[in-house]
Structure 1
Amino acid sequence: MRAAAGEKTRFVVLPESALGFWTPTVERVWQESLRGSSLTVIAGAVVIDPSGYDNVIVEISADKARILYSERMPVPVSMWQPWLQWTGRVGGARAHLFGNPIAEIDRQKIAPLICYEQLMLWPILQSMLHSPSAIIAAGNGWWTEGTSIVAIQKASVIAWGKLFGLPVVTAFNT
């Protein structure tokens, strides 16, 4: 990744879940791998705890690592299962419906969108209320082989970018 980025590249965006489970060990490995570079990686990961998980985007550089964004609208049923909580069980992805509509990278506000959120009206409109300077869209398309799902998501994000006059950066694994 460092070699492909080139000397003038400051940021690299990787897909949803590219980092796997976000743990202190994974954080240290990535920070150490970025040591000696000015590169910042923006990538998808999953944070697990006893009550469920968060689908997140993290920012990693040699100097710092942090959770940049927690998904607002995970896919209902397959990921987000609020009824588990109602029945006293745990599990599933948490939905941060009204949380973190923007994230800040290098003093720039971005509108992050993970997978399903790229197709929904609420996340992008909520983000646009905060005047971001770009849209960053990460997705996980490995399971969609033979379908047009990733193409539809990309077209949707590009349309949002054109509608709001913003640059778009996408990262999908297929």
Structure 2
Amino acid sequence: MRRVLASEWPIPVAAVAGSAWLSGGSSLLGPFASLGLPLIIAGRGTARRRFCVALAYYAVGCWPIVSAVLGYWGEHYAVMAWAAWAASAAALSLPWALPPGRGGLLAALLLTALPPLGVIGWLSPMNAAGVLFPGGGWVGVIGLLLLVALWPAAVNGLAGARIAIVGVLAGSVLMNLLAVVSPPALMPQDWVGVQTHVHPADGNILASIQNNQRIIEAGLRQGVGARVVVFPEAVLPDWYGGTKAQFAAAVPPGQVWLLGVQTNGRDAVVRVKQGDADPVPVAQAAGLLLGGDWQPWNPRTLRPAWWQRVFALDGQRVWAAICVEQVQPWTWLEALCQRPTVIFAQSNAWWAAPGSAAPGIQDASTRAWARLMGVGVVMAVNRIASIDVVGQAERTHPAAPNALQQA
């Protein structure tokens, strides 16, 4: 009986670690608990058991995919929702079946965090770097990699590995103590993130005009006295001449608006001043949209930029975390390479039903990585309080033009 219990406990513990992403909301509970995955798998066991342990973690943590697909595409896509959940959990679990010794755990960590598999690489234990090593930057990333790489040897009794792990953990404690006594990272003064409540117009011209006006009113109301006003991701489904003129006329003198738009097949950010709207985006989403908007076979699909570049504004080096980028470690590593001084996190969660954990997972991941970099974050989110489920079920999403109008 004792042997059976000892062999079975890792699976429920991994499930609890995955559930921390659901219950933790925007706190650091999910990122911290994610470290439990490699630590549990480092124990002895067959490849099948290691896969099952990882599957317990991801199957629970990926559960919001079901409601996200249903909210985005409609109730009649239930089969696709369940398939997306199962496929994501299985795909992310597979690398953890590698033998844990000789770098197997480290390989699994990197395979699930970097493309190609990393394009769905949320819930990654890489998020734990921000919890363990606040302000550490690349030192924190290396510290986490060392911890994961050395853990199997430490479990198997190698004294040198255990000493090294003690040193890494001592560094983590020191960094956390310094973070407690140091001033918190603050966003730049007079930068404001606008929170909106706009449902996509789905090609309805009248609804688009009304949405534009609501977005302008939200910016004027919430951005009073600000220098830079950040809007949510893809609140504008186009960046045509008429839209540019409308927003350029609306921006108060002395302000800069950073608007989330969809233009030229990109989920992007454009800069607008009084009387002047930039035709070229200052940032374009690097990550793949998980709502199914990226369809390589379709020339009219939304396309990822793959590299998110820092841009200069108001004396700052600015990095935009757009939508799904907030949960993809590889895009955050791009940010680390470019040393931003401020991050703005845009998302558009109109599809999220009340109580959905997906927006909280985005926030938690953003907090963890910003904490690792010691950088302030400006958040701008579009949410709607309730979703008309009947209306959602009646919507259609042809592969071509409508995909370009979804946020």
TM > 0.5 fold call: yes
Bigger-Rg structure (1/2)? 2
RMSD between aligned alpha carbons?
1.6
- For 1:76 and 1:19, how far apart are their aligned partners in 2? 19
What does residue 236 of structure 2 align with? Answer: 19
Q: Alpha carbons of 1:107 and 1:97: their partners in 2 closer, same or farther (altered >3 Å)? A: same
* Structure 2: tracts of 5 or more residues without a match: 1-218, 384-407
Q: Is the 8 A contact 1:58 1:68 kept in 2?
A: yes
Q: Which of these residues, 263, 271, 275, is aligned with residue 47 of structure 1? A: 263
Higher helix share: 2
Where does 1:107-122 land on structure 2 (aligned, <5 Å)? 107-122=315-330
Which residue of 80, 93, 96 corresponds with 2:294? 80
Aligned with residue 338 of structure 2, among 121, 130, 133:
130
Q: Which amino acid aligns with 2:271?
A: E
Confirm or deny: 8 A CA contact 1:111 1:128 kept in the other structure: no
Q: Is the 8 A contact 2:239 2:263 kept in 1?
A: yes
Deviation at 1:91, TM superposition (A): 2.1
TM-score, normalization by structure 2: 0.38
Kept after mapping to 2: 8 A contact 1:111/1:124: no
Q: Which residue of 1 aligns with 2:359?
A: 150
- Indicate the SS of the match to 1:92: coil
Q: Which runs of 5+ in 1 are unaligned?
A: none
- How far the C-alpha of 1:62 sits from its partner, in A, is 0.8
Using the alignment, how far apart are the partners of 2:230 and 2:282 within structure 1? Answer: 13
1:129 maps to a residue whose letter is C
Letter in 2 for 1:136: F
Contact 2:290 2:324 in 1 (8 A): no
Taking the aligned partners of 1:63 and 1:172, their CA distance within structure 2 comes to 25
Amino acid at match of 1:57: V
Shift of 1:76: 4.7
Partner Cα distance (2:317, 2:284) in 1 = 15
- Residue 57 of structure 1 aligns to a residue whose secondary structure is strand
Higher strand share: 1
- TM-score, normalised to structure 1, is 0.86
Q: Take 1:169 and 1:78, find their aligned partners in 2: how far apart are those partners?
A: 27
Tell me, in whole angstroms, the C-alpha distance in 2 between the residues paired with 1:108 and 1:63.
23
2:246 is aligned to 29
1:43 aligned partner, one-letter code:
L
Match of 2:220 in 1: 2
Distance 2:291 2:254 in 1: 40
Identical positions, percent: 25
Q: Give secondary structure in 1 for the equivalent of 2:338.
A: coil
In structure 1, what is the equivalent of residue 50 of structure 2?
none
**1:63 to partner: Cα distance:** 4.6
Q: Structure 1 residues 126-135 or 100-109, which shifts more?
A: 100-109
Number of matched pairs: 162
In 2, Cα distance between the equivalents of 1:90 and 1:5?
A: 38
Question: What is the one-letter code of the residue matched to 1:118?
Answer: Q
Matching residue of 1:172: 381
